[in-house]
Structures are given as C-alpha cells and as structure tokens.
Chains A and B, each alone.
Chain A
Amino acid sequence: MTRDWWKHLLLILGVIIVLVPFYMMVSYSFKSPGEIDRGEGGFFGRQELMVDERCVKLRDPSRNDIAAAVPQFPGLSDSAIRDALVDEAMAECSMRPVVFNYTKAFTEAPLLRYLMNGVIVTASIFLIQVVVALPAAYALAKLKFWGRDAVFALVLFCLLIPVHAIALPLYIMLAKLGLTNTYAALVVPWTISVFGIFLMRQFFMTVPDDLIDAARMDGMGEFTIVWRVMLPTAIPALLAFAIFSVVAHWNDYFWPRMVVTGNRDLFTPPLGLREFKGDGDGSFFGPMMATATVIVTPLIVAFLLAQKRFIEGITLNGMK
C-alpha cells in the first residue's frame, strides 16, 4: 500500500477527471438558476424555496379573477385583492429547486414518452435481432446444407460494414418507402446483426451434437429444436448480447437524428434531450441537466448492479 501510493495518486487524479462531468450534471440538476449562474451552493445547492416566474405569470389575475375573489377578501380595494392574489400565486408557484428542475424536465417536454420510445425501440431491436439471428446461427453451426460456406463467408464480409457508415443509402431507401418518421425507420436497419449471427454460431459450435440428435429422436423438428433446445443453452451468451445491443441503441444518437425530424412522438431519449437544449434559454440549465440525469441513470444503475455482465457484454466484440 505505502509502496503503491503514487499509483493510487495517479489513478485518483484520473477518477476525478472521469467523474467531474457526472458530478456537475447531477449537481446542476439540484440547483436553482441563480446558484448555477453564480457557481455556488456546493453539490446539493441550498435548496431555498424559489419562485417559478413562468408559473406566476400564467396565474396573473385577470379582471374576472379579481371580481370573483371579492367575497374572499371583504372590504378590500381591487388593487389590494390583486396583490393578495399575486401573493397567493407566488406561494403556490414556489418550490425547492430540485423539485422545480425535475418537474420541468418531465412537463416541458414529454420526457416520459421519450423514455418509453427508448424502451420500445431498444426492446424491439433486440427481439428481432434474436429472432433473425438465432435460427441462422443454428443452421450455420449444426446443419449441413449446400451453400453453407458461402453464407458464412457473406456473414464474415458483412462484419466489415458498420451500419452507421451506410446510413445515407439506408436513409434514402427508407425515404423512398415512405418510412422516415416511423418506428420502423428507427428499428429496421438494426434488425440484422451479423455480429449476433457470428457470435451465436461460435457458441452453438460448442454445443454437443448428441443433444440435438436426442431432440430429433424425440421427434422434434429443426424449428422446435432452435427454440426449445438451443435457445435455453444460449441464455448466457444471449444475455451478454442483450447488454451489448441495448446499451448501443439506448445511447445511439446518430441514427435517430437521421430518420426522425420534428415528430416529437417518435423521439428517443437522446433526441429529446437535444431538442431541450435547442430551445433552452439560459435559465433552463437545471431542468436540462435533470433530463440528462434521467436519461443516463437507467443504464448506469443497471451497470453498477451487474458490472461483470455489463463489461462482458460491452466488450463482446473483443471476442471476434
């Protein structure tokens, strides 16, 4: 330990640089605009009650409101009633900065909808990838058929092509089919994972033939074998692949940016955050950082809970 102090010193320095943006993001999501401007308040901010100016403005009493409120304030002049009503609005519109930031994050933009889109898109991508890749991987690993080597060569060739690189022609194809600004556009280009086929094929190669022969003896057809016999044996590999796939597509910004324009109902979390930034004036740093925190949190929490599996999953393509 004493001999290693300089190593710890270096690593801790690195830790600080790595963590600073996370610290700042979470800290700003707690603070009031004033505290952010002046750079004070420590990590949590002072959490003094603050008044939401916009809320007060919206509740600015009209002539009718004042007339309606006369019975409540007997014997007061109109302007006094007005002041009383404004005070009331101020009281109701004041809240702790942390509450303000996080409610704004969810109310200014349909963040819940964005999160749900993120879940729908990542889940459908993963499910379709499995449905497509698993049977092909089984056939390539365990069945003998004419053309098998050619198909596998094609898989190896396709591993060379990153989908982001061919985004433009894909975008044109989808546009020609009238599919831009649909869920399909977000999902379709990712339905085929050659990497998934390759990975599963390598895994299935290690499954003993006896297992499959026994299943055939029991009268199972090849299709039943894929889903009843091979799928269960592949669960650990599939889990790693799931993490790989979900992390990549939850965080992906480039592809959604290409195919979704303007239609907020289809925004994935990163797109939603991007739009928030686009129309934010200076006072919205707090809510924006709250949005960022909400988007980043699910994966970080999952990662902290199952680090080994995550590291295994993300570095999966290290096994190529």
Chain B
Amino acid sequence: MTVIEPSIAGTAAGSSRRRATRERRDAWILTVPALSLMVAILLAPVIIAGLLSFTNYSLGNGGFDWVGTRNYEELFTRSTYEKMFVATLTYVVTVVPISVGLGLGVALLINSLGRFREIYKTIYFLPVMATLLAMAIAWEFMLHPSIGMINRMLEMGCGTFLENVWPFMAHGCAERFPVWLGDKRYAIWVVCFIGIWQGFGFNMVLYLAGLTSVHRELYHAAEMDGAKSAWERFRLVTWPALGPTTVFVVTITCIRAFQVFDTIEAFWPQGGGPNKSTYVMMFAIFEKGVQQNLIGIGSAITMLFLLFVVVLTLIQRWLVEQKVHY
C-alpha cells in the first residue's frame, strides 16, 4: 500500500491538472456564444451609434461625411427637439411619481385588508399583462370626441349642479367637450394618464412583496416609542423598510417612462401629436432614423437616450450599495 500511494497521488495530481485544463476549455466553449452575441448585439450598436452621431450617414448612400458635433448642436437648438425634451420630461416627471405613489398607496390599502386582497391584486395587475397597443386603441375609442364613452358621460352631467361648481363642465356643456387627442392642451396628459393606468399595478405588486418583509414587531416597537398615528408608524417603520423597493421601483418606472412609444405611435402615426406636444424621444428616434433616414440625428438622440438611462441605473446601483433608506 505504502509503495503504491505516491503513484496514485501522482496520477491524481496529473488528472486533476488535466481536468482543470479541460474545465477551462469547456468553460470558454460554453461562454463564447453568449459573449459574442453580447458584443455583436449590445456593445457594437452602442459604438456604432456613437460614431454615426458624428456623421450625416443615411441608408442607401455609399459614403458619408464627418460633421463633428453638428447633430448634437441641432438637438439643442432646433425648436422641434426642444419640444421633444419637453414632451419626454413632462411624461417622465408626471408618470413616475404618480404611478409609484399610486402603486404604494394601493399596496398599503390592499395589505391592510383581511379579505378580497387577491381579487384586487389580480385586477390591478391586468393592464400590465395586456398588449399596450390594443389597450391604447380601446382608450382612443373611449376618448373619441363624439361617440366616446368619456365625453358621453360628461354630457350626462350637463344641466346638473356640476355645471355650477365645475367651470370645465360649464364650458363643455355650453360649447363642446374636448377633442382629447387632438388638442395640444390635453394630448400629453392623456398619454400620461394611460401610462399611469398601465404601469401602477406593476409597482403595486413590487410594493406588496416589499411589505411582506416588514416585521410586525417593528410596528409594536414604534407604538411603544409613542408613534400613535398610522402616519407616524408609516413614516418611522414602513417607509424606511421599503427603501430598497422604492429605489428599484423608481428606477424601473423611469426607464420604462423614457421608452414610451406604443400609445404615441397609435394615436398620432404622423408627427407626434398636436403641435408636437407628444413628440417623445423614442418616437423621434423612430421618425428621424427609420422613416426619414436621417441616421446621424437619430443616432445622436439614441446616445442622449442611453446617457439618461445609464445615469439613472448608476444612481440606482449607487443608492442600493450605499443602503440609503431615506
């Protein structure tokens, strides 16, 4: 036995070295498809967009000229793009707080109930599942100025006390109710409303999951310390405990809000709404880059868009790492 042992150890060491080599080789074979696709589909386009944003390239043309930062200058000087930034920011700044707030509010309400929790949860989640384009068309019918359900309902309020207390109503009854999607005063808000309608259920579900991890004892402890009102308990216990959830919910809602496209293209296939009031960035990329073949300017918008998204995500990661619970 004692004689054989070293030789066993020897072959074992040899075979383990051989195995390590084989493991390395196999590992690379397993990783290479994913790695090459990552480079080709995710990294290369970013670089390409970055380069093209400094050119006047268009598909079908053989050559192109380097135009320096002209595309970017155009972005920051032309009024069309000013409208684009205004529309995108209006949408994001409206949709994010409201849909996060509603998601939290509904989650808290549902969480405090004994019965019917599941039913509410299911119903509020339905818009998240439904094809947004189909629902946009359903909303478009509801908002139809003459045969839409919304203006019909408003008309029913004519002649009642509502006319006296609500100037909008009085005005609508005297003349006519808004052409919701054709009026630049309303268009962007309608789109925001649909965005909130579609997205808050998603936030609600994430908050409900977050709420299950808040310990009951914490509430008792807070009560002992004199946090009597529900608001105090929320401020001292629930809100800090939901910190990580909130960071995530806000980031993902922001990124989704930046990407709004379906509703806008469905309502206004040409040109981004009345007076370009709903000309959001995704639509601009589509219109400039694909429809008008102005790849340079489209790429510049793409780069700006990526910048927004990356900055947002980095802020989120930083917050998570800092474990900031405001």
Task: Give the interface of A toward B (CB within 8 A).
Answer: 1, 4, 7-8, 10-11, 14-15, 17-22, 24-25, 28, 36-37, 39, 132-133, 135-136, 138-140, 143-148, 151, 154-155, 158-173, 175, 188-189, 191-192, 194, 197, 221-223, 226, 247, 250-251, 253-254, 257-258, 269-270, 273-274, 277-278, 285, 288-289, 292, 295-296, 299-300, 303-304, 307, 310-311, 314-315, 317-318, 320
Contact = CB atoms under 8 A, between A and B. Distances in A.
Given A24-B149, A140-B31, A161-B306, A295 B129 contact: no
A318 B27 contact: no
A36 B26 CA distance: 64
A165 B306 contact: yes
A127 to B, nearest CB: 14
B139 interface: yes
Q: What secondary structure prevails in chain B residues at the interface with A?
A: helix
A133 to B, nearest CB: 6
B90 interface: no
B266 A277 contact: yes
A300 B34 contact: no
A4 B26 CA distance: 61
Contacts of A247: 129
Given A164-B282, A299-B130, A18 B106 contact: no
Contacts of A4: 112-114
Contacts of A154: 35, 38
Nearest to A197: B34
Given A4-B114, A39-B147, A136-B30, 13 more contacts: A11-B106, A24-B141, A135-B31, A139-B28, A145-B27, A160-B313, A162-B259, A168-B285, A258-B286, A296-B135, A299-B131, A303-B126, A304-B122
Nearest to A270: B133
A138 B123 CA distance: 38
Contact of B269 (A39, A146, A278): A278
B34 A136 contact: yes
Nearest to B115: A1
Given A273-B137, A296-B134, A172 B59 contact: yes
B87 interface: no
B265 A253 contact: yes
Contact of B30 (A36, A139, A170, A311): A139
Given A11-B110, A21-B138, A295-B134, A39 B30 contact: no
B97 interface: no
Interface string B87-118: 00000000000000000001001101111101
A185 to B, nearest CB: 12
Contact of B33 (A25, A136, A168, A288): A136
Contact of B132 (A140, A251, A320): A251
Q: What secondary structure prevails in chain A residues at the interface with B?
A: helix
B125 interface: yes
A169 B51 CA distance: 10
Contacts of A300: 126, 129-130
B282 to A, nearest CB: 7
B206 A315 contact: yes
Given A8-B116, A11-B120, A18-B124, A139 B129 contact: no
B305 interface: yes
Interface in B293-326: 295, 298-299, 302, 305-306, 309-310, 313-314
Contacts of A189: 41
Contacts of A194: 38, 42
A165 B305 contact: yes
Contact of B202 (A10, A144, A165, A315): A315
Contacts of A151: 31, 35
Contact of B27 (A25, A139, A274): A139
Given A132-B33, A146-B24, A222-B26, A165 B106 contact: no
B52 interface: yes
Contacts of A163: 41-42
Nearest to B123: A15
B252 interface: yes
B209 interface: yes
Contacts of B35: 136, 151, 154
A226 B30 contact: yes
Contacts of B286: 167, 254, 257-258
A143 B290 CA distance: 43
B177 interface: no
The 7 A-B residue pairs with the shortest CB-CB distance in the complex, in nearest-first order: A136-B34, A169-B45, A135-B30, A145-B27, A192-B37, A143-B27, A222-B26
B206 A318 contact: yes
Interface string B69-86: 000000000000000000
A250 B130 CA distance: 10
B34 A320 contact: no
Given A18-B126, A136-B34, A192 B285 contact: no
A11 B200 CA distance: 13
A292 B137 contact: yes
Interface in B224-256: 248, 252, 255
B272 interface: no
Contact of B133 (A175, A273, A299, A303): A273
Contact of B41 (A155, A170, A274): A170
Contacts of B29: 223
B163 interface: no
B49 interface: yes
Contact of A169 (B26, B52, B265): B52
B106 A14 contact: yes
B109 A10 contact: yes
Which one of A22, A37, A140, A221 has the greatest number of beta carbons of chain B within 10 Å?
A22
A7 B24 contact: no
Contacts of A314: 128-129, 202, 205
Contacts of B45: 166, 169-170, 173
22 contacts: A7-B109, A14-B106, A18-B123, A37-B147, A39-B147, A148-B27, A154-B38, A164-B261, A164-B282, A165-B302, A172-B295, A191-B41, A251-B130, A251-B132, A254-B259, A274-B265, A292-B135, A300-B126, A311-B125, A318-B206, A318-B209, A318-B252
